Each structure stands twice: as C-alpha cells, then as structure tokens.
Structure 1
Amino acid sequence: MSTLVIVGAGPRATGLLERLVANAAELLPRDRPLHVHLVDPYPPGAGRVWRHAQSPLLRMNSMAEDVTMFTDAGSTIEGPVRPGPSLAEWAARMAEFAPYQPPEDPGVAAELAALAPTDFPTRRAQSAYLDWVFRRTLAERPDRLTVTVHRATVDSVTGTPDGPQQVRLATTTLLADQVVLTLGHLGSEPEPRDQAMADFAERHGLFHLPPAFTSDADLSGLAPGEPVIVRGFGLAFVDLMALLTEGRGGRFEQAGTGPAGAELVYRPSGREPVIHVGSRRGVPYRSKTGYRLQGPPAPLPRYFDAAAVDGLLSRPHPLEFRRDVWPLMAKEIGLGHYHELFHAHPARTTGSWAQFLTAYDQLDWYSPALARLLAAAVPDPADRLDFEALDRPLAGLEFDSSEQLQKHLRACIAEDADRRADPAHSADLGAFLALLSLFGQLPRLVASGRLGARSTATELDGWWTGFFNYLASGPPGFRLRQLLALAEAGVVRFLGADLRVTADEATGSFLATSPSVPGHQVRTSALIEAYLPRHATARTDSPVLRALHRAGELAEEVVTDSTGTHRSGLVAVDPADGRILDPSLGGRPHPRRRALGPYANGRAFAAFARPATNAPVFRQNDAAARAILRSLV
C-alpha cells in the first residue's frame, strides 16, 4: 500500500483530494491501494479560514454563483473533468446532491434556503458547501483509495529524498511515500515595523493589534467610545468594521431608498469605539458589482494570451512588469470593458464594435492614438477606463479641514456604491472579468524568472498586487452602504491618503497624520493594523515550514540580478505541480514533497474559483494529483 500525507485539510486539500479521486481510475494501480492521511486541527473541507466557528457577520466577497470547487468543460486539464454545482446551485437544490445532509446550524440552513445566486453568502454558508464537497469526494472515491482524518498539527517532516517521509504529529508519526503541504493562509512573526509598534504599546499600556486574521483577533481590549487608528482600508478593515459595530450590538435600519438601493442609518449600542481609518490610497476597496453582464461575454484572452507571453519571454532583455507586461494586461482589461459597453450600452458609443476592435487591435495601450480613438468612440469620459485615476483617487488633493475630507469621502463612497449597483455601468463588470482572466497566463510568466528583482519587488508584488486587490477583491456593495451610515453616525472617521502612524514616546500615544489634511493629527491609545500577515518563510508561524526551513530543506523565493535582490517571503516551488525546491538538493525539486497554496510562489492559485474560467488552481491540482499517482507506480 502507498501512503500520502496531506498537511492541511481546508479547501485546497479538498480540491487536491477530488483530483486524486478523479484520476484514480486511470493512474492508481489496482494492485496497489493508496491511503491518504489528512492532518489539520480544524474541520476537513472548510479548514481554519472557512470553519463554521466564526461570527455570522463575516461574509464572502464573492457572489454565490461565482464560487465553485469543480472543473468544467472549459478546464484545460489532463485528467478527467468532473463537473459539480457552484455554491448557489448546491444551495438551491441541496437535497438533490448526494450525500445529502442538512446543515445542523438553523441559521445557516435558513440562509442557504433563501440564498440567491447574486447574494454574498456568509462564511458559514461557504463552510457548509466546503463540508459537502469534502463528503462528496469521500463518497466517490474507489475502494482502493482510503482516507483517514487526523485533527492534529504536523510538527515536522523528515526523511531522505529516496526513502519514506516521517510526518511527526504530537502523539504519532506517519510514514509517507509522498507529502503535500496545503496549509492555506499563514501568519508570521511581526515585521520590524509592527514589532516596534507592539513594543511601544507594551511599554505604555496601549492596545495594539498587529496584522492578523480578523476572525481570530481579540478585540475585547478596545473600550466603548475609545478612539482607535486603523491602518488599512481593505477586506480586513471591512471585517473589523462589522465586528466592532454590529458585533457590539449596533444595528442598521433602512431609511428610505436612494438611486441604487436602500439607504441606511446606524443605531449605535454605545459599545463601539470611534474608528479612524486611513491607508495609502485613503479610500476603501472598490465594491463588487451586484449584477450580471448585460451583453455577451468578451472573447478573452486576446492580448494577454499564451502567444503574448511567448513573445514576452522571447525578448532578449530582462522584463519589467510596468514597462513590458502591464500594457498588455491593461489592454485586455480594456477589451472586457469596451466590449460590454458597445454591446450592452451602444447609445453611449459611436460607430460599430467591429470598427472599434479593428482600430483597437493595432494600438498600444499608452499610445496617443488610442486615447484619440477612445475619445471619439466613447464620448463620456465617465465611460472610459482611467487606471491612474482609479489607482490614486486622492492624489494631489488637499483639504482645509478634516470635515471637508469626511464630506468628500462620503460622496466618493456613495458614488462607488451607486455605480456598482447600477447595471447601466456594467462595463465595470466586463473589466473585472477581464482582470480575472489575466491569471490564466500570469503563473507562467512569473515562473519564467525573466522579471527582474526590482520589478518583482516593487511592481509585481508591490503595485500590481495592491492594485488588483483594490479593484477586484472589494466588499459587497451593502458594506459600503454600512460604511456610509457609520460615517454619518460618527462611528467611523476618515484619515486620508498616504497615512503615517508614529509612536510618540513623549505622550505615550499613537499619532496619525496624512497629507490629505495638512496639519491635522489624530492621537489615540489604540492602533489596529488592518491587513493580513504577509507570509515570510523565515518568520512563518507554521511549525512544519519552520522546521523544514531551519533544516535547509526549504527556501523562500529569491530573485537576484543587476537591479538588486528581492526576497518575496514565499516558499520556492515548481509552480507546475508544487514540488518544493530543496536547497539541500541543489535547488532541485524534491521528489516526495509538495507545497500548494498562497504561501508558495505561484501567486495565482486561489483555493476555489469562478465557474467556467479554466482556473489555474484546478490545473495545478490536477497536475499535482497526476504526478503523485504516477510516482506511486
């Protein structure tokens, strides 16, 4: 019998297990059974991030119809395609999908019964879906593939490359022919900046929350009415906002309707702190759209496809992301945007789509000729893509007072919420879908090693990652309505862009300033860093990764060239199938160890995906599963 140990039993492990089951008929010898050990202290299927045991206030930032764990006809994989329902389809017809087991939590059961395809589910609802996917995968496995679940933590993995691997748990050691680490999102010891703030807070008896997973954070140290500086305006902030307001007994009430939906007022409980929030941009992430495309899907990809990446990789000089790659990506996003505008809202365009596309094909994204084409074909500037204005909406703006900033930002947030709820602006969704399509080719480009160190650090891992999250990873629109209500109630105050937080030893307090309001200061005894921990291999909180790193059998990705050295903090793997690049083997892939997940250097492998997108995660899971099964012959 062959043995595989999968460390981590969340959605990434479930996806890999599903591919093992799918490929077993072809690749698992009938005379050599496979036993799989799944090891995770959290429930299998959901894992830590999606476990049921978290606040019902916390939501996904994807619509129910946009979440699937299954391959489909568009998946370009070597193994068999085995379709399955999206979260929305499963919730609508749960009893039809075996093995049927109603959710034990009546709140989750009620939510799933009423869930619309365009709703943004709670994370508890997603937990129920992932639990069902895991149970379905077990039910469909062949008899010669067995599974044991261990609710435990792996401390270390040892063993020679040509021999069994010893996987040590607290009370036992598992022997394995193959080991896969599917650890999900990981924490790290604080970075120097965060550690300095933590030390300052400890010296002065202040409240400080370093980067953390919000569902795990202890917020009890924040007193009612206490002012708190929150650095970060993304999804971590949205979760904190919910937990510190509704989570403390406040409530939102409808107060009439606006142009794009219900207007809200917030009724405080009196237990809320006063939240002063700012960030580099100074504005929240753009909210998700709440509608579908109004026209036909754009034919993606067209400009950033396999041939385009081939062309980039054939260039003799090292690549720079902003100079060489981004113009192709931007043009692809533009295609999605303008395709939807021409097809769904032709009255706001001039000429035909065919005429526009013929001209668009010939022009570079940043060329003056393209600007002239867009000005002629799309008369209203509000219908044109302007990435620079999107990226830094407060750039160059200064306000005479904090109150002027509050008024300006409330108007900006209301405008974004209205626009993202109005199908008349469905070109925004066309751009969003094109943005997601870029990840079909990005892993190959990253794996090529052709991007220079400086470009990888400041442009790929810096600007691009932040810009993508800002445009594509925002909250549901109703969260911005809630934010407006909280701002109107004085529970949330905006600090502005390019936020600077310093530790004032003289007064024993945190001090926040922003050039958006010159001379304005906010002084508090509490600071929250509202963003996820950045994975750093050398400081990881994963015992097994830490042990492998200290043994010199695992390394972080390092890019070195004439422009410098960039340490990404991500575990260096072969992106094709996740094999760990082992320094003790001269940097060659370890034949028995893999690492799959956001802490590895693929940069494009989410645990689940939108249907019909040929998601990179399904391709990598299938490749890894087939490689594992072949290695056991």
Structure 2
Amino acid sequence: MSRTPVLAVIGGGPRGTGVVERIAANAAELYGDRPLDIHLVDPYPPGGGRIWRADQSPLLWMNSMAEDVTMYTDDTVQLDGPVRPGPALHTWAARVRDGRTVIDAVPEVLEEIRRLGDQDFPSRRLQSAYLRWVYDQARAALPPGITVHEHKGLAHRVSGPRDGRQHVWIEGTAEPVVADLVVLTVGHLDAEPDDEQTALSAFAARHGLVHLPPDFTADTDLTALPAGEPVIVRGLGLAFIDLMVLLTEGRGGRHENGVYVPSGQEPVLYVGSRRGVPYHSKIGYTWQGERPPLPRHFGPEQLTEALNRPGPADFRRDLWPLIARELGHAHYHRLFTAHPERTAVGLADFEEKYAVADPGSPELAALVASAVPDPADRLDLDALDRPLDGVRHASYDTLQDTLRDYITADLARRHDPRHSPDLAVFLGLLSAYAQLTRLGGDTGSHWHGFFSYLASGPPGQRLRELLALSRAGIVRFLGAETTVETDEEQGVFRARSATVPGACTEARALVEARLPDPSLRRTRSTLLSGLYADGAAGTESGLLAVDPADSRILDRDGRPHPRRFALGPYTTARSSGAFTRPRTGGPAFRQNDATARTALAFLRDLSCRDLRTA
C-alpha cells in the first residue's frame, strides 16, 4: 500500500504563508486530487511568524502604508502559475470594518482597524492579524486531499540523502518529521557576534558597562539602559527608529503638537552611522499619471549580456552602472512627462542621447545640465548616498542644526508631489531589485543597504518625532563614519565621527542598532549551519546559494539539491525584505510560485511510483 507524500515547510511567517498560498493556487493543474501532507514548523503562530507576531508593542509600526502592502498576486507578477487575487491590507481592513470579513483579534487591534486609513502606517500587531487571515485563507483554499499539520517548535536540523527522504528534527520531540521535500522559509535569523562585537562585549563585562550587539529591537532587553545616562548608538536605520520609540514613548514620554514631553525615564541617545543621517522618509503621496517604462536599461537582456562577459561578474563594475542608468531613466522620464516646464529640451531628444552616454561621464553631466536647468531637479546618486561627505563641523552643537535642517528638507521633499521623480526612482529601484533576484548571485552589502536607505525608510511621522527628540536633547547626532573605541583605563566607550574631527563622546552604554548580518558563517541557526556543514554552498558574504530558477539549495559543485529548497533574506535569491506593493510585480511572488510548482511536480511524479521505496 502506498503512502501519502510529505512536504515540510520550515518557517510559518510571510514566506511560508506565501508558499502555502502558491501550493493551493497550483495544485489543481500540477497535482490533481492526490493526497499530500504539509508539515509546517515554527515556534511562533503561522502567518506572522516571529517578526510579525501579535504580542509586540503597539508603538511599533510597519514602514509601509496600508495601501502599499499585499500578500496576493496580480497580473503584473511574472509567474507560471495562476494569479489568485486577494485584498491588500487596506482593502482587507475595510472588509473587516463593514463586517464582510470576520477575524479573531483583540479589541485594541479591532479599534485600530476601525480607524485605519489607506495611507496610514499600521502597527505590526495589526499586520500580524492580516497575515494570520491570509494564512487561514491559503490553508482553506487547499484541495481536500492536502492536509496541513502545524508543529509549534524550532526545527534545528535537516538530514537525509540527496536521493531519499529528509528528516526534519524539531526541538523537544524525539522523532523527526519525515518528508519527501523540505522548503526553508525561516526569515531573519540571529547571529553569533563577529570579532569586533565579541571584543566590545568582553570590554563591557570587564568594566560593568552595557553593550547591546546587533539584534531585533523588539526582542532586545532595553531595561539595562538607565534613565538620563548617555548611550552611544550606531545605526540610523529602521532598527534605530524602533529603539528611539521604545526608549521614549515606551518609557512614558509623549509627543504633543511637534514637541516631545519627556517622562524623565529616557536615556540620552548619541547616534551616528556610516552615512550619519537617517533613512529617507517614506514618500507621502501616491502616483498619478504615466509610469516610466521599466525595465529599459536594466532588464533581462542587459543582465544576460553583463553576466556573459569573461570572468566572474563584479557588481560595482558590471551591474551598478546599468542600475544607475535605469534609475536616471526613471527619474528623467517622470520629470519630462509630469513637469515639462522644468526642462529645456524634448523628451525624445534627451532619451536618445541619455541612452548612449556613460553613467558618471562628463558627457552625461553636460547633457543633464543643458536639459535640466535647476540642479535640484537632477539625479545625483552619490550625493543621495553620502550627503555628509566633505561636511565638517567644529562641534557637535553646530552639527545638530545641520542635521535637523537636513531632515526637515527631506520630509518636505518626500511629501511634495512636485518632486514626483523621487517616486519614479523608487519604482526604478523595485524594477532593478526584481532583475537582481533572477541573478542568483551575491550582490554584496552596498546594493541592499542603498536600496533600504533610499526606498525603505520610516514613516514621515517618525522623522518628525526624531526632530522633536533632537530639539528636546534626547537625541544627539554624531555624524558620518562613526567609530567606537574603548578606553581600558577610564572604562568607557568613546564615539568619534569624520563630521566633527577631534571631538568625541563618552558613554557607559553602546547599542548596535542594526539587524544581524544574514551569514551562514555566524548564524545561530543550527538548521542553516548544519546544511552548510552538509555541503550546501555559501557565498563570499555568507549567503546560502540557491538556484535562481526554483530556489533549490546548491551544493559546492553548483548542483541543485533535489529535495531541499530555501527562500528568504539569508539566500542569494533575497528580495528587498519589504512587503510587496500592489501592481509592482513582486519578485517574491514569482520565487514562491516557482518553488511551489517544482515541489508539486516532484511530489506528483513521486506519487506515481511505488512510494514504499522512495
């Protein structure tokens, strides 16, 4: 008697939910009415997983507007499986409000849904409710023969031969889940500290100081940071925004009409980073009119040509110039079509010359200068990336006004549709990311960091709150190229920056406000480190190598593992990390679909054979 095939999905967050949804969408075509057992393994409830779990502070927000978040495919997604439309977050919330959709949520979340506007930034616990509903819908859409078994536990090891069944070992259980295929969708992971962080922690232990290494801010114990004391913070991205909120409003302070009223329980945050400025504000208006035709200069043809050059591809040399050209195309196409009064030549003439000018060349600069009279309307990616390069201040006091002016100007620009080329560049970034996910290689840290800084910043309200905290003296800016040193004699941390030469800040507490790097070499996940030890390939920066076609895990000889897949930020198929905006092509959807289809075809063929010997 034959047995039922088994698929194990390790990780029940948004990626795991997306795989289940694609299994449901593709089953009728590829699997028919055959039986299948899906074992979903996660220590946290399915839907939200760890990062989007419901039991988080209501002060923690998403960094996307409700209308910019969807878990469903549409006709802009390039995929082989069927499109199965569903509600974006704001539409789902409207359905909950009018009673068409009923959910099980605490009263506070239901009240937030009642007040939620399309362009509001929801709390993470509200997003958790949406993700749980999506998961329940995906599970309900599975054919009658497909059954989901949920395991509340941490999968810590996968074993098994390449040509045989896989064993998924779960902490606290004596027997493994035996599966024919395994899909890893474990999301963001903890990491062991690198040499610098290890040394800083040892220094802090010797001197009774506080050192908080890179971590997920929502999971970090911040009680060790005393009220009124200086704290050096490295990082001005989204992890810092969470830290800022939890150490101010989270300790009883409040914002009133642009002024911060302290509780007296706040530490004083001395914050710096490589750039020295916070991530750009989320754009506060919606797209109107014609979209730039994308991709134009960085599509499949250009990507293939770049990768077919002799020798290994180098991101900065081979791909970044194409991406820069694409972003410029998006920017200037929008400027010429939506704001022609600010241009001096016709669009067709400009685009013809732009297409053949080398990025960064004097010829391109001359072309742009002649066609776009106002420098504020020109795209300067280097200036965007490093706004404090060459800026020097005699003291930290004078730097504070400069940074507040910078943030104020950024807020004004990102909420003014007269600067809609900025939104076109955002669309260009999404298009470029979609192409890079097809690459399957390691693009390095620069691209991902640049994308996050420019396109994945905080809500404007959070930067207005940062301004208020700066004026209140709760936040002090350190500047760019911030470094931290230790003083064994005095027993303190010292921070310095290139922006204020010669000055330093002392503190007895240091916080690294950033996520751990997704690296196989330092991951605390025994699941991933075990795969690496078992022969899975890792890239130079430590990502798990997967086949870009269907996300099968590659071994060190480049062979795809026939029974193991991986999706997520720790793989070479990593996507931007943000949720997909409706009608933007969502490369994560394409990846989920390809994995689900490959898995279903494998399991279908397996079920046609005698499974007793599989």
Question: Is 2:298 the counterpart of 1:304?
Answer: yes
Aligned residue runs from structure 1 range 59-208, under 5 A: 59-94=61-96, 100-169=101-170, 170-171=172-173, 172-208=175-211
Aligned to 1:621: 592
Aligned residue runs from structure 1 range 521-560, under 5 A: 521-550=504-533, 552-557=534-539
Deviations 1:318-366 (A, max 9, x none): 4332233212111111122122222222222223333332332332222
Give the CA deviation at 1:525.
Answer: 0.4
Q: 1:435 aligns with which of 429, 435, 444?
A: 429
Query: Matched residues in 2 for 1:314 and 1:571: separation?
Result: 23
Q: Does the CA contact (< 8 Å) of 1:608 and 1:617 recur in 2?
A: no
Query: 1:245 aligns to what SS in structure 2?
Result: helix
Q: Does the CA contact (< 8 Å) of 2:201 and 2:211 recur in 1?
A: yes
Structure 1: 5+ residue stretches without partners: 255-263, 448-455, 558-566
Query: Matched residues in 2 for 1:498 and 1:605: separation?
Result: 25
Question: How many residues are paired up?
Answer: 599
Query: Matched residues in 2 for 1:182 and 1:342: separation?
Result: 43
Aligned to 2:612: none
Give the CA deviation at 1:113.
Answer: 2.2
Query: Matched residues in 1 for 2:438 and 2:399: separation?
Result: 43
Aligned to 1:419: 413
Further displaced range: 38-47 or 122-131: 122-131
- TM-score of the superposed pair, with normalisation by structure 1: 0.92
Deviations 1:92-149 (A, max 9, x none): 2236897x33342222212222222222211112111101100111111110111111
Aligned residue runs from structure 1 range 469-484, under 5 A: 469-484=452-467
What letter is aligned with 2:70? T
What letter is aligned with 1:515? A
Aligned residue runs from structure 1 range 387-466, under 5 A: 387-447=381-441, 460-466=443-449
Query: 1:175 aligns to what SS in structure 2?
Result: strand
Q: 1:520 aligns with which of 478, 503, 514?
A: 503
Query: Matched residues in 2 for 1:343 and 1:468: separation?
Result: 25
Query: Matched residues in 2 for 1:245 and 1:76: separation?
Result: 44
Aligned to 1:578: 551
Aligned to 2:481: 498
Query: 1:540 aligns to what SS in structure 2?
Result: coil
Give the CA deviation at 1:305.
Answer: 0.7
Query: 2:516 aligns to what SS in structure 1?
Result: coil
Question: Is 2:320 the counterpart of 1:326?
Answer: yes
Query: Matched residues in 2 for 1:416 and 1:53: separation?
Result: 33
Query: Matched residues in 1 for 2:563 and 2:286: separation?
Result: 44
Further displaced range: 509-518 or 112-121: 112-121
Query: Matched residues in 2 for 1:3 and 1:101: separation?
Result: 32
Query: 2:542 aligns to what SS in structure 1?
Result: strand
Q: 1:20 aligns with which of 20, 23, 33?
A: 23
C-alpha distance 582-371 of structure 1, shift in aligned 2 (>3 A): closer
Query: Matched residues in 2 for 1:446 and 1:388: separation?
Result: 26
Give the CA deviation at 1:607.
Answer: 7.0
Query: 1:83 aligns to what SS in structure 2?
Result: coil
Deviations 1:444-486 (A, max 9, x none): 3344xxxxxxxx6xxx413222222211121111111111100
Deviations 1:282-308 (A, max 9, x none): 111111111012331111111101111
Query: Matched residues in 1 for 2:317 and 2:43: separation?
Result: 45
Query: Matched residues in 2 for 1:283 and 1:595: separation?
Result: 34
Deviations 1:59-93 (A, max 9, x none): 11112111111111112111111111111111122
Aligned residue runs from structure 1 range 249-288, under 5 A: 249-254=252-257, 264-288=258-282
Query: 2:246 aligns to what SS in structure 1?
Result: helix
Give the CA deviation at 1:155.
Answer: 2.3
Q: Does the CA contact (< 8 Å) of 1:15 and 1:607 recur in 2?
A: no
Query: Matched residues in 2 for 1:556 and 1:323: separation?
Result: 22
C-alpha distance 240-605 of structure 1, shift in aligned 2 (>3 A): closer
Query: Matched residues in 1 for 2:28 and 2:575: separation?
Result: 29
Q: Does the CA contact (< 8 Å) of 1:294 and 1:340 recur in 2?
A: no
Query: Matched residues in 1 for 2:440 and 2:559: separation?
Result: 18
Q: Does the CA contact (< 8 Å) of 1:294 and 1:423 recur in 2?
A: no
Q: Does the CA contact (< 8 Å) of 1:605 and 1:616 recur in 2?
A: no
Query: Matched residues in 1 for 2:117 and 2:499: separation?
Result: 41
Q: Does the CA contact (< 8 Å) of 1:607 and 1:617 recur in 2?
A: no
Query: Matched residues in 2 for 1:173 and 1:514: separation?
Result: 52
Question: Is 2:582 the counterpart of 1:611?
Answer: yes
Query: Matched residues in 2 for 1:272 and 1:311: separation?
Result: 54
Give the CA deviation at 1:631.
Answer: 0.8
Question: Is 2:511 the counterpart of 1:509?
Answer: no
Give the CA deviation at 1:251.
Answer: 0.5
Aligned to 2:571: 600
C-alpha distance 84-144 of structure 1, shift in aligned 2 (>3 A): same
Deviations 1:212-266 (A, max 9, x none): 0011000001111010000011111011000000111100111xxxxxxxxx110
Q: Does the CA contact (< 8 Å) of 2:568 and 2:575 recur in 1?
A: no
Query: 1:571 aligns to what SS in structure 2?
Result: coil
Q: Quick check: which one's strand share is greater?
A: 1
What letter is aligned with 1:155? H
Question: Is 2:243 the counterpart of 1:240?
Answer: yes
- TM-score of the superposed pair, with normalisation by structure 2: 0.94
Aligned to 1:4: 7
Give the CA deviation at 1:367.
Answer: 2.8
Query: Matched residues in 2 for 1:55 and 1:187: separation?
Result: 20
Deviations 1:371-417 (A, max 9, x none): 22211221110111111111111111211111111111111111111
Question: Is 2:58 the counterpart of 1:56?
Answer: yes
Deviations 1:525-554 (A, max 9, x none): 00000110002213212132233334x243
Coordinate RMSD, CA, aligned: 1.7
Aligned to 1:560: none
Query: Matched residues in 2 for 1:96 and 1:359: separation?
Result: 54
Q: Does the CA contact (< 8 Å) of 1:597 and 1:605 recur in 2?
A: no
Query: Matched residues in 2 for 1:387 and 1:343: separation?
Result: 21
Q: Does the CA contact (< 8 Å) of 2:440 and 2:548 recur in 1?
A: no
Query: Matched residues in 2 for 1:430 and 1:520: separation?
Result: 40
Aligned residue runs from structure 1 range 334-373, under 5 A: 334-373=328-367
Query: Matched residues in 2 for 1:617 and 1:571: separation?
Result: 17
Aligned to 2:228: 225
Query: 2:484 aligns to what SS in structure 1?
Result: strand
Query: 1:5 aligns to what SS in structure 2?
Result: strand
Query: 1:556 aligns to what SS in structure 2?
Result: coil
What letter is aligned with 1:267? V
Query: Matched residues in 1 for 2:224 and 2:438: separation?
Result: 46
Query: 1:41 aligns to what SS in structure 2?
Result: coil
Q: Does the CA contact (< 8 Å) of 2:392 and 2:499 recur in 1?
A: yes
Q: Does the CA contact (< 8 Å) of 2:439 and 2:548 recur in 1?
A: no
Question: Is 2:541 the counterpart of 1:568?
Answer: yes
What letter is aligned with 1:46? G
What letter is aligned with 2:572? N
Q: Does the CA contact (< 8 Å) of 2:440 and 2:545 recur in 1?
A: no
Query: Matched residues in 2 for 1:390 and 1:103: separation?
Result: 44
What letter is aligned with 1:159? G
Deviations 1:498-534 (A, max 9, x none): 1110111111110111121122111100000011000
Q: Percent identity at matched positions?
A: 56
